[in-house]
Every structure is written in C-alpha cells, then in structure tokens.
Amino acid sequence: MTASYDLKGKTALVTGGASGIGLATVEMLAGFGCKVAINHLAGDERGAAEVTRLRALGRDVIAAPGNVADAVDCQRMVEQAVRDLGRLDYLVNNAGTPGTKTTIAPSEFDRLTEELWDTVLQVNLLGVFRCSKAAAPALRAAGGAVVSVASIAGLNHAGSSMAYGATKAGVVSLTKNLARGLGPEVRVNAVAPGAVDSTWMIEWTEEQRRGSIEKALLKRRCTTADLAEVMVFLLAGAAMVTGQTIVVDGGLTL
C-alpha cells in the first residue's frame, strides 16, 4: 500500500515531467497536495497537454519549459520555476535520454559516437548538476530534498550503452557529493530503476522484455508508479537518509 503524505504548502520541480517516471512522480506529488512545476522541452506538446489534464483534475501544476542540456536555458528554467512556485521544497532530477533507440553492446565501439557521448553527458549528468546548483539557494531556504534518477546501468548492469551507464554511474557519485555539499539543510538521494514499463526511447524486443521479467525475483517489470512511490518517500519522508542510491528493480540485479 502506498504511503500517504500531506504536502499542502509544499512545492516541487520535476524535470522531464511530461511522461514516464517523471509524470508518475508529478501525479503522486500533486495528488498529495504539492504544487508542482512540470519541466519539459519547449517544443514538447505533451507538457501543455499534461498541465491542462492535471489542472482539470484539480491538481496544482504549472509548466516549466526548458532544456537541461543547455546550461543557460537550464539556469533560466530553474530560476523561473522557483519564482513561479514561490519557493522550492523538492527537486526531482528525472530528465534523461539513452541517446539511442536500440541497445549498443559494450563491444560495439563504432556505434559509440562523440555525438552520443555528448548528448547523454549533457542531459543525464550535467543536467542533474545544473538543476541542483541552480535550485540550491531555494532548497536550502526551505530545508528541502533532491531525488535524481540513476539506473542499474550505473551500478552493475550493461544498460542501453556504456555511455549511458557511465552517465548514470556519475549520477550515483554526484548524489553522494551533492549530499555532502548541500547538507545539513538539504537531503540528496537517487533511485536506480531496473526494467520499467514506460514511454522510453529504447525499443526493447519482446525477448528482452520477457527476460527481464524471468530474471527478476518479483517476476514483473517495474511500473512508473513503483518508482514514483520510492521517490516521494525519499522527498517527503526518509528524514535521516541522504547520499544514497536506492535500487528499485524487483530483484532483477540479484
């Protein structure tokens, strides 16, 4: 059973919040009364559509368009979101990209292009740092919390490519150092999802999907709600947890 939190008066910024894990987290936070800024790329029509849909359901959400891969635009987006929210209690660094639509085996060096590396580094790793740095003053003032999305690919799983895995390993390390740098006022943690049924750029084959279910101890793939539940706990509860990366994979990596 999902825990319940009274988040009235609290505010959050969720990057990549118009779909997948980000949207599930927006929905859960807003459902508990939190006012949420939904970050999305300026040209992504899903952002405006989700804001409209959630407002119709009585949720207190606003749009926060911007690109975390662009240093200037990211800074502007976070600062504007904080102004629009009036304060910032929670930051969810969810925006990410695999940079490829099909998995790239560790031996396929020719497919690991400079463009791929630049894309995943800018979004998955530097985006997390940029957002956290820009939000730090507001988070400190509120005694807030940060949760970032890492991956089992950053721990001991190959993932979609070694480039993607390297960025997610970076998020694990960055989480520890952000916890050191922002404590004691701000707690910083991460989640490491395993196989998730979500809107994602990677085109998994049915064989890969079945294999992820068979190998998981709980015999199913994670849902976006499974991830959102843990992330909201790390934001609104978990008062003595910081610098940690929580694996949420149904026992897949065991």
Which positions are catalytic?
A: 164
CB contact at 8 A, 172 and 131:
no
Half-sphere exposure of residue 115: CA atoms within 13 angstroms, side-chain side: 4
Query: Both tokens of residue 206?
Result: 């049915």
CB 171 within 8 A of CB 117: no
Of the candidates 138, 127, 121, 11, the residue with the CA atom closest to the CA atom of residue 75: 127
- Tokens read off for 226: 């499974």
Give the contacts of 184 (CB within 8 A, at least 6 positions apart).
none
Cβ pair 122, 69 in contact under 8 A: yes
Separation CA 44–CA 51 (nearest Å): 12
